[in-house]
Amino acid sequence: MDEKRMVDLVKQYGSERIIINSAADWGVSDPLKVPKTVNAMRSSGISESAIETIVWHNPLTFFAQSGRLDITDAEDYLLVDQRQNWEGNSVLRGQTPVVSN
């Protein structure tokens, strides 16, 4: 579904029962489709709270129904410290490390 159609659906039906997800397993996929759709929603005036509901809260609630996803674990925000290495490797390629509090 393209971004404009998604924006139109959100404006018509609201954010309560809509999710945006990327299925990279069917045919040609665009791994940036979710952020592109978020940008289109912002540009069209859809509120940040509605966008957060669509791309975060609704998918969590939906996938938690399987019993294999604990919402409290998913909502625990991990602190980022890019100074740390994984098995001697860094994700940084000359950039300054990001460290969150």
Q: What's the CA gap between 65 and 57, in Å, rounded?
A: 13
Encoding tokens for residue 88? Answer: 């001697």
Domain residue ranges in the chain:
3-75
Q: Residues 9, 18: contact at Cβ < 8 Å?
A: yes
Could you report the per-residue pLDDT of 27-78, keeping only the tens digit for each? Answer: 778 889 999 999 999 999 999 999 999 999 999 999 999 999 888 877 777 7
pLDDT at 91 over 90: no
